Structure 1
Amino acid sequence: MAQTLETLSRRTDTLGSIRSIVHTMKTMSAINAVPYEHAARSIESYHQTVLDGLRAFVAKTGPVSVPDVAQAERLLVVFGSDHGLCGNYNEILAESARSESLKAGSPARVLCVGARMGDALGDQGIRPEFTFLPPASADGIGRLASDIVTRLDEIGGGDVHNRIAVTLVFTRRADKGQREPEISQLLPLEPTLLSDSGASGWHSRSLADYTMPPAPLFAALLRNHIFASVFRASAEAMVTENAARLALMQQAEQAVDDRLEEVGGQFRLVRQDEITNELMDIIVGFEALKKPSVVHSSSS
């Protein structure tokens, strides 16, 4: 009986330690998500400025021709994780990437972010051409975005607008704390950005103008558009990764609490049985001490 109590006591201590670790990881996930969320919001303002610049360029120069997507080389950039404890985060996104890759009949070239995403893509029969390291903090998002932009520029031979069709695949936040895969076309640019008609026109009492040569100006605007889009996708992916880890840690914490309650109940039952047995031993001993005295009195 004493051994059983000792075992249950050790289990309680172990579960308490596990709960402390889980609670710490849950807190870190909640804290880590905040800077990435701020980064995702801040890049939107910068991206909007770049888009306004593209519209101003088109308003001054005239419509830019849209390349034929069918003739461009297809690339997927898939944003995953490099750390575990986030459930099936990578596996769900890898399935979406596989479906997108096979849309045109032949597999697309794939760049991925995160070693675990690379493994998940491998399980889907996709071998990434290159795997980037995900950002360790919000400050690292710019580094990752620059690396991806540079790699795309190398693949496109300096003419990404006409030579490659790029799609971003990442996980974004959905309603009611949920998350879902997002597939966003990055290149070629949307026709509405390159035409000077309708809602995409330049709406201002001041005429758009620039002094740079058109070719390098368009290349700079395009590069910044790609950078901002990749930056936002990376930040959104990191927010949802930490949210997935937070949800998993909450489930784990609840499971540990339930197990602690169960072990605590077992401990109390065993302890009560021990107390009952000890009381019975006392009563039996007391009765045993009384009997000789009664017999001696009767004999007298």
Structure 2
Amino acid sequence: MAQSLEVLSRRTASMQSIRSIVHTMKTLSVINSAPYEHAARAIEAYHDTVLMGLHAFLSQTSPLETSPLTAKIKVLIVFGSDHGLCGSYNETLASHVAEQVGDALGQTIVVCVGAQMADALRDCGFAPETTLFPPASVDGIGRLANLLTRHLDDLRRDHKTDDMAVSLAYFMRDKDGGQRPEVQALLPLDRDLVHELQVKPWASRSVPSFSMPALFQALIRNHLFASMYRAAAEALVTENAARLALMSQAEQSVDDRLDGLKSEMRAVRQSEITAELLDVIIGFEALKKKRKPVAENPKETS
């Protein structure tokens, strides 16, 4: 059934308003992604400094033995999104976490960043022990990383043990410009990383020395902070990238719909113009037929 020109005009105006909103969200995704990406790069330099400190410490100590399977406490921190309009971001990450954790779910303490992420985890059979709000700005990333670091300290004190395994789950960028879900183990330290730091030659003739009693604990704490900071920043970058991709698709769909509405409006307008012209022609022909007999019989009028 053909729609009236008035209805089509209203629908076109509504679609143009939707397109304006979609374009605004697309622009905001581009603008918001830049500072988070800068923060992710900046924390990498800080993390390199922490690893250099670990290198100095491990080069002067005996080899460390790490075994994540025997840890008394297993903690999984999942970074999600609460801002919406980014597709199945939370659901995809929750499904990946469920596949990776598997049978260790019952022995794992889950700390979730984002209420929507917590709901997605519950749908996959998880029960988050703590749910935190994701940062709303770059300044909030540092506060979140500090809060998570303190929470890990509280868990260690509550369980009265330093034997803890910590893993992070978040979306990270890949080399092809896309993104993929990742579960990264932080503690115990990766064996390959520890071995590399121990056998790597110290790039100076001065042998490193230290007198701080809790130096190793401080380095590990900073390693956790930098890793969680980077994971939070990376999660925000990929979240905005997912939203940008979704908004680009929505914008294309709205443009296609607008083109269809405009084409339909032109067809309806042309039909109405044709109908009006036909009415004028028909009326003109009817008037000609009424006047013709009077012109042919002038005697009757006299």
| Aligned residue number for residue 19 of structure 1 | 19
Asked if residue 116 in structure 1 is aligned to residue 116 in structure 2, the reply is yes
Q: Is the contact made by 2:135 and 2:144 (CA closer than 8 Å) also made in structure 1?
A: yes
**What amino acid does structure 2 have at the position aligned with 1:190?**
D
Shift of 1:231: 0.4
**Contact (CA 8 Å) 2:54, 2:197: kept in 1 or not?**
no
Q: Match for 2:297 among 290, 296, 299?
A: 299
Calculate percent identity across the aligned residue pairs: 53
1:229 counterpart residue number: 227
Determine the structure 2 residue equivalent to 1:244: 242
Q: Which position in structure 2 is the counterpart of 1:99?
A: 99
Conserved? CA contact 2:55–2:198, under 8 Å: no
1:268 pairs with one of 248, 266, 269: 266
Write out aligned runs for 1:83-98 (5 A).
83-98=83-98
Q: Which runs of 5+ in 2 are unaligned?
A: none
Using the TM superposition, give the Cα deviation of residue 28 of structure 1 relative to its aligned residue in structure 2, in angstroms: 0.4
What secondary structure is seen at the aligned counterpart in 2 of 1:97? helix
CA distance in 2, matches of 1:287, 1:2: 29
The answer as to whether partners of 1:74 and 1:108 remain within 8 angstroms in 2 is yes
User: How far off its partner does 1:58 sit?
Assistant: 1.2
Provide the residue aligned with 1:183 in structure 2.
183
How far apart in 2 are the matches of 1:4 and 1:294?
38
Matched residue type, 1:151: H
Structure 1 unaligned spans of 5+:
none
Q: Deviations over 1:243-298 (max 9, x none)?
A: 10111111111111111111111111111110001000111111112112322233
SS in 1 for 2:185: strand
Letter of the structure 1 residue corresponding to residue 258 of structure 2:
L
Of the structure 1 ranges 64-73 and 171-180, higher mean CA displacement relative to structure 2 is found in: 64-73
State how far apart, in whole Å, the 1-side matches of 2:75 and 2:165 are.
Answer: 6
The answer to whether the 8 Å contact 2:76/2:166 transfers is yes
- 8 Å Cα contact 1:161/1:189 also seen in 2: no
Contact 1:161 1:188 in 2 (8 A): no
The alignment partner of 2:183 has SS state of strand
When the two structures are superposed, what TM-score results if normalisation uses the length of structure 2? Answer: 0.92
Residues 219 and 194 (structure 1), Cα distance of their counterparts in 2 relative to 1, 3 Å cut: same
Deviations 1:97-130 (A, max 9, x none): 1122225474522111001100100110111000
CA distance in structure 2 between the partners assigned to 1:200 and 1:249 by the alignment: 47
The letter of the residue matching 2:125 is G
Do the aligned partners of 2:80 and 2:113 also contact (CA within 8 Å) in 1? yes
CA shift, 1:208, in A, is 1.1
For the residue of structure 2 that corresponds to 1:61, the secondary structure is coil
Maintained 8 Å contact 2:59/2:197: no
Contact 1:65-1:194 at 8 Å conserved across structures: no
Partners of 2:105 and 2:126 within 8 A in 1: no
Deviation per residue, 1:25-67 (Å, 9 max, x gap):
1100110011100000000000000001001011123333435
Q: C-alpha separation between the residues in 2 aligned to 1:176 and 1:274?
A: 53
User: Which residue of structure 2 lines up, in the alignment, with residue 7 of structure 1?
Assistant: 7
Counterpart AA for 1:258: D
Which residue in 1 is equivalent to 2:150?
150
The alignment partner of 1:167 has SS state of strand
Task: Report the counterpart of residue 39 of structure 2 in structure 1.
Answer: 39
Query: May I ask how many residue pairs the two structures share in their alignment?
Result: 298
Q: Given residue 236 of structure 1, which amino acid in structure 2 is its aligned partner?
A: E
| TM-score, with structure 1 as normaliser | 0.92
